[in-house]
Amino acid sequence: MTTNRTGDLYALTCALVCGLGNIPAKVALADITVELYNIYFFIFGFIFSNYVWFSKKDRDDIKSTDLKTLGLIFILAIIFSFALYLLMLSLKLIEPATVSFLSRFEVIITVVLAYIILREKLKFIELVGGIIALGGIFILKYKTNLTISYAATLMILSSFLFSAAEIIIKKNIHRLGTGQFLFFRNLFNIGIMFVILFVQGQSLHVPPAETMWLILAAAILLPVLGRATYMEALKRINVSRAALVTQATPLFTALFAFMILTTYPTLTEWLGGALIVGGVIIIQLFANREKKGGLEPL
C-alpha cells in the first residue's frame, strides 16, 4: 500500500473513530449533567495524557515549563473548556450527526480569524466556500425548531472558541511541546470544570457504572484514538488532504446514531449539514489546488 493510501486510511479511520465517539457521549449525557460529564471526561483525559512521562523530551518539557508558557496553556485551557462545554450542551439537545455537521463550521471561522489576526491571504474560493457554509448555518438556525436553532447558536460560539484556540496555538507553536501542552491543559481543564460545576450549584458525585464506562469510551475514542489516527495520517499526507478526508465524520456519526440509537437527522438538517460540509470541502480542495498548482492525487 502506498504512503498516500495509508495516510488516507488513517484519516478515514479518524473520521470513523470520532463519529463513533459522539455516540457514547450522547448516551452518557442523557443521565448526567454536562458539567459532571466534562469533569470525568477530563479526568480520564488527564490520566491518558500521563503517557508523556515515558518520553524523555516530554518529561524535560514539563519540568522546564516557565510561568509565561504555563499562563499561555492556562488561557488555552479556559478557551477549550468553554468550547467543549458549549459543544456538549448542544450534543445533549440535538442529534449527534447535526452537532457533527455544525462543528465543521470551525474551519470557516479559522480561515476568517487567520485572515484578521495572522494576516494570511483570503482567497476568493475561500469566500465562496464560506458563503455556502453560512447558508447551511442559516438553514439550521432559522429553518428548524427552536431546540436545533438554540443548539446551532451554541455550536457557532463553540466553533469560534475552538478556532481562537487554534490561532493562538499557531502563533505560539514554537513554545508549546505536544506532550507538555496536553498534560497541563487537561490538568487545568479539570479545575476549570470543577469551578463551573460549583457555580452551577451542582454537587460532585460518581455516576452509575454504565455511565462511567460510556464517558471512558468517549474519552478513549475522541481525544486518544482520534488524535492518534489523525497524527498518523499527517505523517503520510498533507494537512489539507487529511482534513478533507475527515469531513466524512458527520456521515459516520449519522450511521452509528442510526445503528445504535435508531435516530437520524431530518431532511432539513441533512440539507444544512451538507451545505456546511460542502463549503468546507470547497475551501480545502480548491484552495489547496490554487496554492500548490494541482492536488495531491487521491
Contact 129, 279 (CB under 8 A): yes
> Rounded distance, CA 3 to CA 268, Å?
39
Contact 181, 72 (CB under 8 A): no
Q: What is the DSSP string of 139-173?
A: HHHHSS-HHHHHHHHHHHHHHHHHHHHHHHHHHTG
Cα separation values, 81 from 150, 167, 186, 223, Å? 20, 16, 9, 14
CA 50 to centroid of chain Cα atoms: 21
pLDDT, residue 295, reads: 34
Q: Nearest to residue 11, comparing CAs of 221, 205, 249?
A: 249
Cα distances from 268 to residues 103, 142, 218, 264, in angstroms, run 17, 11, 28, 11
Q: Which run of H or of E encompasses 199?
A: helix 178-199
pLDDT at position 296 is 37
Instruction: Locate 122 and state its grid cell.
Output: 483570503
Do residues 4 and 237 lie in contact, with contact meaning Cβ atoms separated by under 8 Å?
Answer: yes
pLDDT in tens, the chain (298 residues): 567 788 888 888 988 999 999 999 999 999 999 999 999 999 998 888 777 667 788 788 888 889 999 999 999 999 999 999 999 999 999 989 889 888 888 777 877 777 787 776 777 777 888 888 888 888 887 877 888 889 889 999 998 998 888 788 878 877 877 778 888 988 999 999 999 999 999 999 999 999 999 999 999 888 778 877 887 887 787 766 777 788 888 888 988 998 998 888 888 888 988 888 888 888 767 655 544 443 333 3
Asked if 94 and 148 touch (Cβ cutoff 8 Å), the reply is yes
Cβ atoms 18, 243 nearer than 8 A: no
160 Cβ contact partners less than 8 Å away, ≥ 6 residues apart:
109
Sign of CA dihedral 235, 174, 74, 99: negative
Q: Counting Cβ atoms within 10 Å, is residue 150 exposed (0-12), middle (13-18) or buried (19+)?
A: middle
Q: What is the DSSP string of 231-247?
A: HHHHTTS-HHHHHHHGG
